[in-house]
Each structure stands twice: as structure tokens, then as C-alpha cells.
């Protein structure tokens, strides 16, 4: 099935989400329908990253930085611990303040490694992420995937090359 892709993401723990929309429909694989209508679907990680990078090209322009990727997996909502209200220790915040009335999306953030690793992976690498199928205000259906990006400094090996993911290290013959 093909549908529009909506990628919501934050950078460095910012409370502000940024919305990136795909320029065309992408292929998704619906997951076990509920009442004959699927609620969730898998989509290729690279499709999500392409959508983010087209919307925010500055994220990949600086070769001295990279981002750790985390995706909120809505299928893991039952394994997520209950939300805990931990107030900031600032002078304007009291421990008696009520929890925020805004409901946070439920799920568990799943670590996916570095953005550069995912972008440079083979096209045969079919890593997928899970999103929620939603009805947009224009009536069209879209898959919504939520990411958190955490900026990291590039790590270099002794050969002054960026480190690659452990699974990509291959012995030289």
C-alpha cells in the first residue's frame, strides 16, 4: 500500500516537534488490522530519513556532526513504563505543580544508531520503523512516524575515518 509520510521529529530534546512531509506517496506495510482497518504500518527507515533531510537539509551539511536516531514505536506502548512527572528544579517550578495536561505519545523510543550509518547503509538494507496511520485534515491517510534526533560529535578511528557501525566492520584479507 502507498500513502503519504509525515515525520515528526525533535532535535536535542527540544519540546518543539518539526514536521517533515514526503513529496510523494511511499510504500508501507500495514500491521495486523483492527476491525478490518490497520492502525499501524512499517515503512523503510531510509524513506523517513530522506523526508527529514529534504525538509531540513542543514542536518547533513556539516560533516563534523551526526545524530543518534530514536524512533517512538507505538506497538511498544504496553511495555512502556507509566509517565512520571519529574519537575525541574528551577525557582519557578514547585514539586506541587500538577502534571502537564498534554498527553505524550505512548510507546518506547528505540535506538537506531547514527543517522550517517543509516544513510550510508546498502539499499538492500530493509530496516523498517513503525508508524501510526492517521487521517489528515485534508481527508487523506498518512503514516506518521515520530523521531528524536540527538546531536553527537563524530567519532574517528585511528585512521581519521568516521567510525562505522560494529556490524559493518569486516576483517581485511
Question: For residue 41, is it within any domain?
Answer: yes
Question: For residue 19, is it within any domain?
Answer: yes
Nearest to 69, CA basis, from 147, 144, 128? 147
DSSP per residue, 158-173: TTSSB---GGG-----
Domain span including residue 37:
2-168
Question: For residue 173, is it within any domain?
Answer: no
Query: What is the total count of domains within the chain?
Result: 1
Question: For residue 15, is it within any domain?
Answer: yes
Give the pTM: 0.76
Question: For residue 131, is it within any domain?
Answer: yes
| Pairing state between β 141-153 and 2-11 | parallel
pLDDT tens, per residue, the chain with 173 residues:
999 999 999 999 899 999 999 999 999 999 977 666 779 999 999 999 999 999 999 999 988 889 999 999 998 876 656 665 545 444 444 444 444 434 455 678 999 999 999 999 887 878 999 999 999 999 999 999 999 999 998 766 555 455 556 555 444 44
Question: For residue 134, is it within any domain?
Answer: yes
Question: For residue 123, is it within any domain?
Answer: yes
Question: For residue 43, is it within any domain?
Answer: yes
Amino acid at each position: 500500500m502507498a500513502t503519504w509520510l509525515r515525520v515528526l521529529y525533535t532535535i536535542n530534546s527540544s519540546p518543539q516537534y518539526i514536521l517533515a512531509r514526503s513529496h510523494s506517496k511511499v510504500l508501507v506495510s500495514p500491521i495486523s488490522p483492527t476491525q478490518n482497518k490497520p492502525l499501524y504500518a512499517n515503512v523503510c527507515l531510509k524513506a523517513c530519513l530522506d523526508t527529514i533531510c529534504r525538509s531540513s537539509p542543514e542536518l547533513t551539511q556539516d560533516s563534523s556532526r551526526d545524530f543518534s536516531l530514536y524512533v517512538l514505536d507505538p506497538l511498544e506502548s504496553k511495555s512502556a513504563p507509566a509517565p512520571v512527572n519529574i519537575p525541574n528544579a528551577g525557582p519557578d517550578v514547585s514539586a506541587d505543580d500538577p502534571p502537564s495536561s498534554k498527553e505524550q505519545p505512548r510507546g518506547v523510543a528505540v535506538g537506531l544508531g547514527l543517522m550517517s550509518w543509516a544513510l550510508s547503509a546498502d539499499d538492500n538494507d530493509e530496516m523498517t520503523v513503525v508508524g501510526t496511520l492517521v487521517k489528515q485534515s485534508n481527508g487523506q491517510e498518512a503514516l506518521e512516524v515520530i523521531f528524536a534526533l540527538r546531536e553527537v560529535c563524530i567519532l574517528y578511528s585511528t585512521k581519521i575515518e568516521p567510525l562505522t557501525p560494529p556490524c559493518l566492520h569486516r576483517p581485511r584479507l
